[in-house]
């Protein structure tokens, strides 16, 4: 399968956040392979996630129909977990990651959750900065979780009576 052409940001490019549907899965899985390589989710994993009632997934879609990001959250009150969040390389650093994360936070609050947790590679500076900017704090570490010497950090944000921190669009 060939990779889709990268999305080129421009002033007339319209991008919106919408619910992930089955017809977005192929493109989301392809983007996942590009961004996460050997830890990427298969299309079957996306299908399985979308089938669960305590999940919510969104995609970033351009006006030309290209999927350029996605994110998902799972919840079992009082806790929720960020399952994934990703923005295509060509669209990064434009505020879309923050927009997706804020959407997940809102979903978790509406699901009556009091804590939002996530797991992130300790060497993923971009993601850690994004989470820290949105009020997440590190609560523990799983040594070599992603392979020898690549730790996972567990981060948490309290959802009760805490306004969004960081930029909103």
Ligand X SMILES: CC(C)(COP(=O)(O)OP(=O)(O)OC[C@H]1O[C@@H](n2cnc3c(N)ncnc32)[C@H](O)[C@@H]1OP(=O)(O)O)[C@@H](O)C(=O)NCCC(=O)NCCS
Taking the least distance from each CB to ligand X, the nearer of 13 and 35 is 35
Taking the least distance from each CB to ligand X, the nearer of 45 and 133 is 133
CA distance 115 to 112: 9
In whole angstroms, the minimum distance from the beta carbon of 37 to ligand X comes to 11
* Contacts with ligand X, residue ranges (CB under 6 A): 35, 85-87, 92-98, 120, 124-127, 129-130, 133, 167
Nearest-CB residue to ligand X? Answer: 97
In whole angstroms, the minimum distance from the beta carbon of 65 to ligand X comes to 20
Taking the least distance from each CB to ligand X, the nearer of 27 and 94 is 94
In whole angstroms, the minimum distance from the beta carbon of 50 to ligand X comes to 19
Taking the least distance from each CB to ligand X, the nearer of 89 and 112 is 89
Hey, which bits of the chain come out as E strands?
15-19, 55-62, 67-76, 79-87, 115-121, 137-142, 152-158
In whole angstroms, the minimum distance from the beta carbon of 32 to ligand X comes to 9
CA distance 26 to 82: 21
For residues 72 and 55, is the Cβ–Cβ distance under 8 A?
yes
Q: Would you give the DSSP letter of residue 23?
A: G
121-132 CB burial, b ≥16 within 10 A, e <16: bbeeeebbebbe
């Amino acid at each position: 399968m060939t990779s889709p052409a990268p999305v080129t940001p421009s002033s007339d490019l319209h991008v919106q956040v919408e619910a992930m549907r089955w017809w977005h899965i192929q493109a989301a899985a392809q983007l996942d392979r590009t961004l996460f390589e050997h830890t990427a989710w298969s299309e079957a994993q996306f299908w399985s996630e979308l089938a669960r009632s305590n999940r919510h997934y969104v995609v970033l879609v351009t006006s030309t129909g290209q999927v350029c990001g996605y994110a998902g959250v799972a919840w079992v009150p009082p806790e929720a977990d960020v399952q994934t969040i990703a923005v295509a390389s060509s669209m990064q650093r434009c505020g879309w990651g923050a927009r997706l994360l804020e959407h997940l936070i809102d979903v978790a609050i509406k699901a009556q959750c009091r804590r939002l947790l996530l797991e992130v590679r300790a060497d993923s500076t971009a993601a850690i900065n994004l989470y820290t900017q949105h009020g997440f704090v590190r609560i523990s570490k799983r040594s070599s979780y992603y392979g020898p010497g690549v730790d996972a950090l567990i981060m948490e944000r309290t959802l009760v009576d805490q306004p969004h921190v960081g930029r909103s669009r």
